[in-house]
């Protein structure tokens, strides 16, 4: 059983933190479908400490989120400690430290995967964050690049610093999201530390999730891209069925509405900070919500009949009423069936521009 402070998680399946995806509406959906934990996307410690309104919106939790885990990134221990205290005061039950983000904007400040190059510094950050009085977890990669695969050393340093667990995305920083994750490294980390180890990388089916547990002995499994457009993967991992067409239509509608509500609720923080818009903050928030949701629509349509025509139309719609009508028409009509492709499942053609982590 995975524990996090006073919480005993109900299973081992965890939604991986994903920038632009792991917002409150999607976290709530994944949790409802069985995910034991859904950490926030990475949140800038510098942004929090500067009291940036845009950053604070990432700390909004739903009452159902228990425990609520906030992922922070930063390279400065004092600033990370201050940000952790702010997250705690906003309701966080635990802090996850991002030690995997490969994006230069993040690594050049000694944060994200740059911490893999300095295990002692990474440990110092865990100790600093722990001063907020919450359990601290860390998410690492296998190493900086092929010549510096040091996940075992990093995990041991983090364990000695008091980390509650370590999650490992079994790719190096240099690999980004390409190539295959090397699960054997998850097994090596598991063998080298006493704290729980959460494996991550390339779990796109329930079978792969179970296989990762068998092959590596990991205590938990984080699922990222495999949950995009398919949060039912968590229900299936818990032994439940895949979605019916009607369930999919309803969930997409509900997700869309929740996303618009979330954007409207945080408009004073996000949209106003971005300069509002011609029709006032509410109209601008609605447009922002619709545009943000487009990628989700594409992922939900993935593998369904008529998906490419639906995609082309979906990206032209700005009016929420039109989007709702299009969702009903597609997921209730042609898209209620899976596409039969001669070569089996198509590759996930996810647009990962701007992906962090
Ligand atoms: C769109 C996107 C955004 C991501 N953002 C984050 C992030 O904010 N924090 C983080 O630790 N990892 C982030 N990641 C990495 C994922 O958490 C995960 O480690 C990676 O996708 C590998 O798992 P998968 O093969 O199950 O997708 C992101 C990945 C994607 C695809």
Residue 351: inside a domain: no
- 282 CA to middle of ligand 1, Å? 31
Q: Is 101 a catalytic residue?
A: yes
Residues 58, 147, single domain; the answer is yes
Residues 165, 297, single domain; the answer is no
Q: What are 22-75's pLDDT values in tens digits? A: 999 999 999 999 999 999 999 999 999 998 777 888 999 999 999 999 999 999
Using a 6 Å cutoff on CB, does residue 16 contact ligand 1? yes
pLDDT band of residue 353 (cuts 50, 70, 90) is: very low
Domain final residue, candidates 202, 219, 237: 237
Residue 354: inside a domain: no
Residues 69, 199, single domain; the answer is yes
Ligand 1 mutation target, pool 23, 355, 357, most atoms within 8 A of CB: 357
Domain range for 214 is 3-237
- Cα atoms in the 13 Å half-sphere on the side-chain side of 252: 32
How far, rounded to the nearest angstrom, does the alpha carbon of residue 39 sit from its chain's CA centroid?
7
Residues 144, 284, single domain; the answer is no
Residue 298: inside a domain: yes
pLDDT at 355: 46
Residues 285, 214, single domain; the answer is no
Q: What is the pTM of this model?
A: 0.94
pLDDT at 259 over 60: yes
pLDDT at 273: 46
Average pLDDT over residues 240-259: 98
Q: What are 91-140's pLDDT values in tens digits? A: 999 999 999 999 999 999 999 999 999 999 999 999 999 999 999 999 99
Q: What are 162-208's pLDDT values in tens digits? A: 999 999 999 999 999 999 999 999 999 999 999 999 999 999 999 99
Residues 223, 250, single domain; the answer is no
First-last CA distance in the chain: 26
pLDDT at 271: 45
Using a 6 Å cutoff on CB, does residue 141 contact ligand 1? no
Atom of ligand 1 nearest to the CA of 226: 26
Q: Give the C-alpha separation, 281 to 258, whole Å.
A: 18
Atom of ligand 1 nearest to the CA of 139: 11
Residue 156: inside a domain: yes
pLDDT at 302: 95
pLDDT at 349 over 70: no
Residue 341: inside a domain: no
Percent of the chain at pLDDT > 70 equals 91
Residue 353: inside a domain: no
How does the average pLDDT of the chain come out, rounded?
Answer: 92
Q: What are 133-142's pLDDT values in tens digits? A: 999 999 999 9
Residues 156, 202, single domain; the answer is yes
pLDDT at 272 over 50: no
Provide the token pair at 169: 């995305």
pLDDT band of residue 346 (cuts 50, 70, 90) is: very low
Q: How far is CA 341 from CA 204, 233, 248, 304, 338, in A?
A: 18, 21, 21, 10, 9
CA angle at 171 for the pair 234 and 201, rounded to the nearest 5° = 10
Residue 355: inside a domain: no
> What is the DSSP-derived secondary structure letter of residue 3?
E
Residues 164, 191, single domain; the answer is yes
Using a 6 Å cutoff on CB, does residue 23 contact ligand 1? no
Using a 6 Å cutoff on CB, does residue 21 contact ligand 1? yes
pLDDT band of residue 343 (cuts 50, 70, 90) is: low
pLDDT at 269: 60
Average pLDDT over residues 346-351: 48
Q: Domain of 173: which CATH number? A: 3.20.20.70
Using a 6 Å cutoff on CB, does residue 72 contact ligand 1? no
pLDDT at 80 over 60: yes
């Amino acid at each position: 059983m995975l524990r996090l402070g006073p919480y005993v998680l109900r299973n081992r399946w965890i939604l991986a933190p994903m920038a632009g995806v792991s917002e409150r509406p999607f976290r709530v959906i994944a949790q409802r479908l069985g995910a034991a934990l859904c950490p926030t996307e990475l949140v800038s410690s510098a942004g929090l400490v500067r009291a940036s309104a845009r950053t604070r919106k990432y700390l909004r939790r739903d009452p159902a989120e228990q425990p609520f885990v906030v992922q922070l990134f930063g390279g400065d221990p004092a600033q990370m400690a201050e940000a952790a205290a702010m997250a705690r005061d906003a309701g966080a039950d635990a802090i996850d430290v991002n030690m995997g983000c490969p994006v230069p904007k993040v690594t050049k400040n000694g944060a994200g995967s740059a911490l893999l190059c300095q295990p002692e510094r990474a440990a110092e950050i865990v100790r600093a964050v722990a001063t907020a009085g919450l359990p601290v977890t860390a998410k690492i990669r296998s190493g900086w690049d092929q010549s510096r695969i040091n996940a075992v050393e990093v995990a041991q340093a983090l364990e000695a610093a008091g980390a509650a667990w370590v999650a490992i995305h079994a790719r190096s920083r240099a690999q980004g999201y390409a190539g295959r994750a090397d699960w054997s490294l998850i097994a090596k980390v598991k063998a080298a530390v006493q704290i729980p180890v959460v494996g991550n990388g390339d779990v796109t089916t329930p079978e792969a999730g179970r296989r990762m547990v068998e092959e590596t002995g990991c205590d938990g499994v984080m699922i990222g891209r495999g949950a995009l457009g398919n949060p039912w993967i968590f229900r299936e991992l818990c032994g439940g069925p895949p979605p019916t067409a009607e369930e999919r239509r309803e969930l997409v509608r509900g997700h869309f509405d929740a996303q618009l509500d979330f954007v409207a609720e945080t408009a004073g923080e996000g949209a106003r900070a971005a300069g509002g818009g011609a029709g006032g903050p509410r109209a601008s928030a609605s447009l922002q919500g619709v545009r943000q949701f487009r990628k989700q629509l594409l992922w939900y349509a993935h593998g369904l009949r008529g998906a490419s025509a639906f995609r082309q139309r979906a990206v032209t719609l700005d009016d929420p009423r039109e989007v709702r009508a299009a969702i009903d028409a597609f997921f209730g009509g042609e898209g209620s069936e899976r596409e039969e492709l001669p070569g089996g499942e198509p590759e996930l053609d996810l647009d990962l521009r701007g992906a962090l982590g």
